[in-house]
Amino acid sequence: MLRRIPGLENAEFARLGGIHRNTFINSPKLLDPVMRLKSEPRLRFAGQITGVEGYVESGAMGILAGRFAAAERLGLPAAPPPPETAFGALLGHITGGAETETFQPMNVNFGLFPPIEDARIKGRKAARKQARGMAQCERALAACDAWLASAPLPSPRVAA
Ligand SMILES: Cc1cc2nc3c(=O)[nH]c(=O)nc-3n(C[C@H](O)[C@H](O)[C@H](O)COP(=O)(O)OP(=O)(O)OC[C@H]3O[C@@H](n4cnc5c(N)ncnc54)[C@H](O)[C@@H]3O)c2cc1C
């Protein structure tokens, strides 16, 4: 494929690899809880530059920045997502939870969620881990539904 690019017809490839440069700002220091630059609140950041990593994470931070901007424009409360949701856990991490000195791009992961205590989580270590993950997902889905139902902007879910 690369040799089909004009000028690269005779290129020799010593090694196939990738360039993975990640440009990001120190969000825990610079952004407020609704992704505005503290020093210049008319500017809002979205996506990977906020210090998240990955397609899903970047898209999620784009959706949130868009919702916050729309709410502000319409004079409605911003209504950030609760920390029990993946949206809220990641947003909370980049806008305050992370250490500013050591901040690095973050994928969404269970470690960002509030811990879960559930008496039903029993058994061997692997089984407990799986059960805890399921319980966190169920809690996240319920919290996300409640957030979307109470948020002032229309829900992004489309009725079937
Ligand atoms: C090699 C590689 C492999 C990856 N693999 C994966 C993977 O397997 N899975 C995964 O989930 N993620 C992967 N990622 C990460 C993923 O690609 C990014 O997290 C995601 O694309 C970021 O999306 P974004 O829209 O926030 O930023 P970007 O996709 O970087 O979009 C930013 C846009 O802004 C534009 N722009 C920049 N400066 C200006 C300016 N001054 N004016 C106007 N426009 C400007 C850029 O041209 C670009 O189009 C990979 C990244 C790389 C580099």
Q: Is position 155 within any domain? A: no
Q: Is position 95 within any domain? A: yes
The domain that holds 67 is classified in CATH as: 3.50.50.60
Q: Is position 125 within any domain? A: yes
pLDDT in tens, the chain (160 residues): 889 999 999 999 888 777 778 899 999 999 999 999 999 999 999 999 999 999 999 999 999 999 999 999 999 988 899 999 999 999 999 998 889 999 999 999 999 999 887 766 677 777 888 888 899 999 999 999 999 998 777 665 555 4
* Rounded CA separation 87/26 (Å): 19
Q: What is the pTM of this model?
A: 0.85
**Spatial contact of 152 and 71, defined as CB atoms under 8 Å apart:** yes
Does the beta carbon of 59 lie inside 6 Å of ligand 1? no
Helix or strand (DSSP H, E) at 41: strand 40-44
Q: Is position 59 within any domain? A: yes
- Determine the distance separating the centroid of ligand 1 and the alpha carbon of 158, expressed in angstroms: 27
Count up the domains in the chain and report the number.
1
Closest C-alpha among 120, 114, 95 to residue 29: 95
Which atom of ligand 1 lies nearest, measured to the CA of 62?
26
Domain of residue 27 covers 21-150
